[in-house]
Amino acid sequence: MHRVLLLLSLFFCTVAQAAPETCDAPWPAWESFKKTFISEEGRVIDPNTDDLRTTSEGQAYALFFALVANDRPTFEKLFNWSEKNLSDGDMTTNLPAWLWGKNDNDNWAVLDSNSASDADLWMAYTLGEAGRLWVDRRYVALSSLMADRILSTETKDIPKLGLVLLPGKMGFTPDEHRVRLNPSYLPLQLLRWFSAHSKDPRWVALTNSSLQIITNASPKGYAPDWTLYDDAQGYLPDTDGQQGSYDAIRVYLWAGMMNRDDSARRVLTDTFKPMAQFIASHGSPPQSIQVISGVANHPGSSGFSAAMLPFLQASGFYKSSDEQLKRIADQPIGEDSYYDQVLGLYGTGWFNKLYQFDSKGNLTPRWMSKCK
């Protein structure tokens, strides 16, 4: 198996370069997150759920944060738990199940074996970048195997749209003419990375269709949580309503963190300028907004404010960005609020330059540079 992994790493990724002297800057928010949400075995637990659930999304995000923090011991625990419990002990052949927790028989087990493609993207990407930054071919090879499995099981060719990333392996094609899509599952910098590190042209096709989905599903400048695409009618309201809330907040987050030299960043900041203007006039992002009418409910959490920091910066709304920072200081993110803490780690971590993405999606963590 080790020989197979080595061979796979050679065709998928460029040869890893030796890491320069590190800069181990402390990240208190990550240390707090670990103490609150990550078990000793490496399981990310959402304490606000009845089943004390763990999701593949949570494991993938935590792996990314561990890499940003240069926290290899925690990274290993997170990966080992994920492979053992979500991938039936072998991530080389099984994408992670998306949901794990306590079942009706009071046993800990997989509760839903379907996959979640956003988690799979983040996990495959983070494994590949961990292999490059920590010079570990095992992770590089695992990344390539996951990437191939994503292409083979979580994509579908759609007339007039091309190859698209499905939200999971099963359940997102209501009929032969329609597909249910989630724009927040499509971080373009990650898709750029797969396109750059793989010779498979399907990654370029996915990148192109993803930009179309994100922009065309948001005609008024507000991203929806979910959208339906119909072969004949184009984009339609999702069956659960056409609102942007807990999923959609990540669309702005991913867009804002894109490298300034990526041509798609300007497309997205132009597309979502109405959201930046909404925040400027209301003082905070909405918890939920009707994406066609622009009617919003009450203000979103401080985690939402943190998620919007990169986008407001990328859009030139610096005063609004400062206002969100003050809001976070005045109303700290709840210590036991798993999702808000995740948004906070992404948003403030990027804002404080603990990590960046280059134009090809490569991760540049602060610890790779000498302290000045």
Active-site position among 57, 83, 120, 154 = 57
Q: How is residue 296 annotated by DSSP?
A: B
Q: What tokens were used for 63?
A: 């792996």
Q: What tokens were used for 300?
A: 């979103």
Q: Is 57 among the catalytic positions?
A: yes
Structural element, H or E, at residue 327: helix 318-330
Active-site position among 118, 120, 129, 247 = 118
Residue with tokens 């991913």: 254
| d(C-alpha 310, C-alpha 283), whole Å | 16
DSSP codes joined into one string, 148-195: HHHHHHSEEEETTTEEEE-SSSSS--SBTTEEEE-GGG--HHHHHHHH
Q: Is 118 among the catalytic positions?
A: yes
| d(C-alpha 284, C-alpha 291), whole Å | 17
Strand order in the sheet with 234-236: 178-181, 227-230, 234-236
- Annotated catalytic residues are 57, 118
